[in-house]
Amino acid sequence: MRQFDVPEPDYDRYTNRQLVAIPLVILLLAVLVVGANVLLIGAPAPLGIEFTGGTELTVDTSASSGEVQSAFDSQPESIQSVEGEDDRYIVTFGPDAGSASELQQQAEGSLEPSQGDDLIQGVNSFDATFAENTQQLALLGVVFAFIGMSVIAFALFRVFVPSVAIVISAFSDIMIPLAVMGLIGFELTLGTVAALLMLIGYSVDSDILLNNHVLRRGTGGDFYDDVYQAMKTGVTMTLTSLAAMATMAVVAFFFGIDLLVTIGAILVIGLIADLMNTYMMNVTLLRWYRFEGVKR
Amino acid sequence: MKVFAAIRSNWRILLLVVLLFASAYFLFVPGAPIAGPGADGDGGNASAGSTNVQYGIELAGGARISAPAHGYIATDLGELPDDAAPIQQAVAEATNVSETDVVTSSDLGGREGFPSSGAVEVRGNVSRDAFERGLENAGLSPDDASIREGVSSYSLDLMVEVLDSRLGESGLGGGSVTSVQSPQSERDQVRIEAPGRSLGELEALVAPRGQVEIVAHYPDPDGEGAQREVLLTQEDFNAGTVDNPDGGSPFVPVTVTQSAADEMTNFMQDSGFAAQGAGSVCEGLEPRDDEYCILTRVDNETVYSSGITPGLADNFQTGEFRQTRYFQVQTPDVATAQSLLIDMRAGALPTTLDFGDSQQFLISPALAEDFRQNSLLTGIVAVIAVVVMVFARYGNPRVAIPMAATALSEVVILLGFAAAIGWPLELSHVAGFIAVIGTGVDDLIIIADEIQAQSEAKSRRVFQKRFRKAFWVIGAAALTTIVAMSPLAILNLGQLRGFAIITILGVIIGVAVSRPAYGSILRRLTTEGQGS
């Protein structure tokens, strides 16, 4: 009852240039978007309060979103209603809106709690200087993680092109979701950083598998056979993860668990990018290496 | 011998089963030897009914405040004189704090966490300029010294200790107080967590210094105005429990130490307080200059004032107080008495917390409960999605069912481990579990494909060879994941840290135990399948 099989692509119909063009153009676009964001707003994507400072209140109130808006002395940055919870709002303030306790008092002073419930359900407040340093620390963490991954990639294969292929692919797998986040205004939080790091892991998984099948197994067989063997396993892996993450994102969205929504959504975008990068860019780089690069 | 051979050929599976049983024991058996606050069985902690898993406040509800301490410390000031009193005086005057709030390495140099020489610390909400001015006035050169905001780790440890016992005394069970070094701020932070409390309650508990003083207020014998003398501070006595007599004000009975009792008796006799103040009536928190009053003061604010009863005055006059050493600290109401008692038992904070630079977190128990159930549900649905995909791909339940079971077993082992060491679970750990299942299933797919490749793995030798091949990929991928995650496991990045630690642990357990075991299971099942 085998229900699906990974189709075998006709790689020989396309030249290396044709195959590599699409992932490279998309990577270039992603880098442009991320670069533009860094220039315009000083970050690859809009930053959440963990990185800018500010306060997030979760309130259960019978008031309308307009009333919630006017309940505070300073204008909230955003008011978000929660899917599946009618009376729940997540109100976000910038770092200048006052302390967490002031905002709680303002809310308690002017909003009616919904029936039999506490008004303030959640508070999350970050000091601005602390948050700014968190930002640098998170950047540092991602950079170190990336460098560590690159070192391992080189140590494992000890040949330039295939190792570089792993590194470029992982870079692209991170850049594309970042660019998408920047475009749709998805905020960068600690949760998204976690998701981007998970992507490094997933990305490297499928790349190592591919490189291993082509370079190390030494069957001496046909290049395309080797690639197809790796693909059958690799695509199954990625699709399984994709299914899990997409489900998690959708379910968590209805429950209003932001952390899991962000992680799921980023991974879905990143895993799709990884399919493209692994089986268009990496395969091509390996093909070049196998048929032309080795001769040099 | 047959048993021995069976064990040898199936040791991977056996190891997995043993770990699963151990986890189940730690998870489900009540009274299993677990560590952490849940082990005490006090009602306040967030242990989750049917299992031994403990939840952090993100999943149990509660409040968390992280804040640095007020103060400055100057180091490298050169050799300080043995008697540092003039320095304390000068700095205290410039910064407008009491002299006891200025400490130096002349006094504390031997203590752990305080610089052994050339250091002056001011404890309180003061400005850097004032501190430097004070040091200059004391004849020290602040320009050559290194001055940083915050307090020594000695003082910080003291704060943690006092706050921890305050939390305990106030009945906030399951709370925790830790000091956190973070590169994000110059000052180390004190992190206070209290399950089931609101931020307001927690802040009210940890904000005050909690300095309790018993002060004598009496007319100046040499002229106009009134004199005040600190009779006792909370170091001078052991407190009993709150007593609330009918028709009187609530009080805390205390037993005064011998040396303090002697000093107090001497003062009462010499100043004439006991003789002339006996039976005095004091009303109002601001006594008149000509009244004899005993004031109960907390953080330099009078909370209660009363006269001295003839009986107690007599005790002082005859010197009997030296033997009884029994004293009542009077308060206006029971609530004040309770909070006074907490302060008396926990002691005073060396300095206050700076809430202006704080991180605060609150989640109501109801919302936390939602998160707990819903994230569990989300995880289950995600696992079902994985199982469906695996079935769709392989169609063979002999491959798919053990795969799903193995991936889940990694989470069970991690949960068991968390329960055993009393590690409170947070939302980020749930994300980590999902990551573990994700990488786990990836690896299991690699193993399944490798072992099943081309033809069925007939002999043990072929199986071993294929297994090793698959394992090279898995090991390499695991190594990369661990390297990529390790900076985050070390850096103080809140949620990310828990996530990274769980992911790393999961990968290690997976590669060392469960994923190899899946290879063995698969081999048994597929070779059996051929035989039949």
Residues B185-221: pLDDT tens digits?
778 889 999 888 888 889 888 999 988 888 988 888 7
Rounded to a whole number of angstroms, the distance from the CA of B47 to the nearest CA of chain A is 21
Q: What residues of A are in contact with residue B439 (Cβ under 8 Å)?
A: 201-202, 205
Query: Within this chain, do residues A275 and A161 fall inside the same structural domain, yes or no?
Result: yes
| In a domain? residue A277 | yes
How confident is the prediction for chain B on average, in pLDDT?
84
Domain boundary among A126, A155, A176: A126
Q: In sequence order, which residues have a C-beta less than 8 Å from that of residue A289 and are 6 or more positions away? A: A159, A161, A162
**Average pLDDT score over residue span B458-468:** 74
Q: What is the pLDDT of residue A87?
A: 84
| Four-residue CA torsion sign, B73, B76, B81, B82 | positive
Q: What is the pLDDT of residue A47?
A: 92
Would you call A151 an interface residue with chain B, using a CB distance cutoff of 8 Å? yes
| In a domain? residue A217 | yes
Tell me the C-alpha distance between B230 and B211, whole Å.
12
Would you call A201 an interface residue with chain B, using a CB distance cutoff of 8 Å? yes
Query: Within this chain, do residues A223 and A84 fall inside the same structural domain, yes or no?
Result: no
E strands, A70-199, where? 78-81, 88-93, 120-126
Q: What is the pLDDT of residue A40?
A: 92
**If phi over 0 gives left and psi between -120 and 50 gives alpha, with beta otherwise, what is residue A274?**
alpha
Tell me the C-alpha distance between B525 and B401, whole Å.
11
Would you call A194 an interface residue with chain B, using a CB distance cutoff of 8 Å? yes
Q: What is the pLDDT of residue A1?
A: 43
Query: Within this chain, do residues A172 and A232 fall inside the same structural domain, yes or no?
Result: yes
List the one residue out of A201, A183, A178, A205 whose CA is nearest residue A262: A178
- Which A residues, 35 through 54, put their C-beta within 8 Å of a C-beta on chain B? 50
Would you call A147 an interface residue with chain B, using a CB distance cutoff of 8 Å? no
Identify the band that residue B367 occupies on the pLDDT scale cut at 50, 70 and 90.
confident
Which of B25-34, B214-223, B452-461 reaches the highest mean pLDDT?
B214-223
Q: Which residues of chain A have pLDDT under 70?
A: 1-4, 217-220, 293-296
Q: What is the pLDDT of residue B319?
A: 87
The total of structural domains in chain A comes to 2
Least confident of A222-236, B27-41, B408-422, B502-516: B27-41
The total number of residues written for chain A in this structure: 296
- Yes or no: say if B173 and B337 are a contact pair by the CB < 8 Å rule: no
**Average pLDDT score over residue span B268-272:** 86
Whether B44 has a pLDDT exceeding 50, the answer reads no
C-beta atoms of B480 and A257 within 8 A: no
Q: What residues of A are in contact with residue B472 (Cβ under 8 Å)?
A: 212, 216
Q: Which of A121, A246, A263 sits opposite B367 (nearest CB)?
A: A121
Query: Within this chain, do residues A190 and A119 fall inside the same structural domain, yes or no?
Result: no
**Average pLDDT score over residue span B224-251:** 84
Q: Which residue is listed with tokens 């693909």?
A: A231
Rounded to a whole number of angstroms, the distance from the CA of A134 to the nearest CA of chain B is 6
- Which A residues, 237 through 266, put their C-beta within 8 Å of a C-beta on chain B? 237, 239-241, 243-248, 251-252, 255-257, 259-260, 263
Q: What is the pLDDT of residue B530?
A: 46
Best A238, A259, A274 member to test B by mutation, with max B CBs in 10 Å, is A259
Q: What is the pLDDT of residue B221?
A: 74
Q: What is the pLDDT of residue B35?
A: 60
Query: Within this chain, do residues A122 and A190 fall inside the same structural domain, yes or no?
Result: no
| In a domain? residue A5 | no
C-beta atoms of A260 and B393 within 8 A: no
| In a domain? residue A230 | yes
Identify the band that residue B527 occupies on the pLDDT scale cut at 50, 70 and 90.
low
Domain boundary among A126, A143, A169: A126
What are the tens digits of pLDDT across the range B129-181? 999 999 989 888 888 788 989 899 899 999 999 999 888 888 766 788 988 87
C-beta atoms of A237 and B495 within 8 A: no
Rounded to a whole number of angstroms, the distance from the CA of A16 to the nearest CA of chain B is 26
| In a domain? residue A256 | yes
DSSP string, B85-125: HHHHHHHHHHHT--GGGEEEHHHHTTSTTS-SSS-EEE-SS
Query: Within this chain, do residues A145 and A237 fall inside the same structural domain, yes or no?
Result: yes
SS3 B468: helix
Best A251, A253, A266, A267 member to test B by mutation, with max B CBs in 10 Å, is A251
SS3 B362: strand
Q: For chain A, what is the radius of gyration of the CA atoms?
A: 23
For residues B342 and B527, the model is more confident at B342
Burial class (CB in 10 A: 0-12, 13-18, 19+), B401: middle
Tell me the C-alpha distance between A273 and A268, whole Å.
9
C-beta atoms of B441 and A241 within 8 A: yes
| In a domain? residue A4 | no
Query: Within this chain, do residues A157 and A107 fall inside the same structural domain, yes or no?
Result: no
Percent of chain B with pLDDT strictly greater than 70: 93
Tell me the C-alpha distance between A42 and B129, whole Å.
34
Tell me the C-alpha distance between A104 and A57, whole Å.
8
Query: Within this chain, do residues A122 and A135 fall inside the same structural domain, yes or no?
Result: no
Best B188, B406, B430, B483 member to test A by mutation, with max A CBs in 10 Å, is B483
List the one residue out of A130, A136, A107 whose CA is nearest residue B355: A130
What are the tens digits of pLDDT across the range B465-520? 777 878 888 999 899 889 888 888 888 787 788 888 999 999 999 999 998 899 88
Whether B36 has a pLDDT exceeding 60, the answer reads no
- Yes or no: say if B39 and B325 are a contact pair by the CB < 8 Å rule: no
| In a domain? residue A3 | no
Q: What is the pLDDT of residue A277?
A: 95
List the one residue out of A189, A146, A176 whose CA is nearest residue A31: A176
C-beta atoms of A99 and B437 within 8 A: no
Q: In sequence order, which residues have a C-beta less than 8 Å from that of residue B366 and are 6 or more positions away? A: A117, A118, A121, B61
Query: Within this chain, do residues A208 and A236 fall inside the same structural domain, yes or no?
Result: yes
Identify the band that residue B1 occupies on the pLDDT scale cut at 50, 70 and 90.
low
Closest chain B residue to A145, measured at CA:
B484
- Yes or no: say if A256 and A88 are a contact pair by the CB < 8 Å rule: yes
Query: Within this chain, do residues A151 and A263 fall inside the same structural domain, yes or no?
Result: yes
Domain boundary among A69, A98, A126: A126
Closest chain B residue to A124, measured at CA:
B361
Would you call A7 an interface residue with chain B, using a CB distance cutoff of 8 Å? no
| In a domain? residue A206 | yes
List the one residue out of B231, B209, B264, B17 whose CA is nearest residue B98: B209
Give me A5's structure tokens: 């099989």
Would you call A106 an interface residue with chain B, using a CB distance cutoff of 8 Å? no
C-beta atoms of A208 and B446 within 8 A: no
Q: Which residue is listed with tokens 């692209």?
A: A172
Query: Within this chain, do residues A28 and A136 fall inside the same structural domain, yes or no?
Result: yes
Which of A178-182, B223-227, B244-248, B318-322 reaches the highest mean pLDDT?
A178-182
Q: What residues of A are in contact with residue B184 (Cβ under 8 Å)?
A: 129-130, 133-134, 137
Best B371, B468, B480, B499 member to test A by mutation, with max A CBs in 10 Å, is B480
Query: Within this chain, do residues A87 and A202 fall inside the same structural domain, yes or no?
Result: no
Domain, as residue range, for A108: 54-126
CATH number of the structural domain spanning residue A208: 1.20.1640.10
Best A163, A217, A241, A263 member to test B by mutation, with max B CBs in 10 Å, is A241
Whether B42 has a pLDDT exceeding 50, the answer reads no
C-beta atoms of B434 and A129 within 8 A: no
C-beta atoms of B480 and A246 within 8 A: no
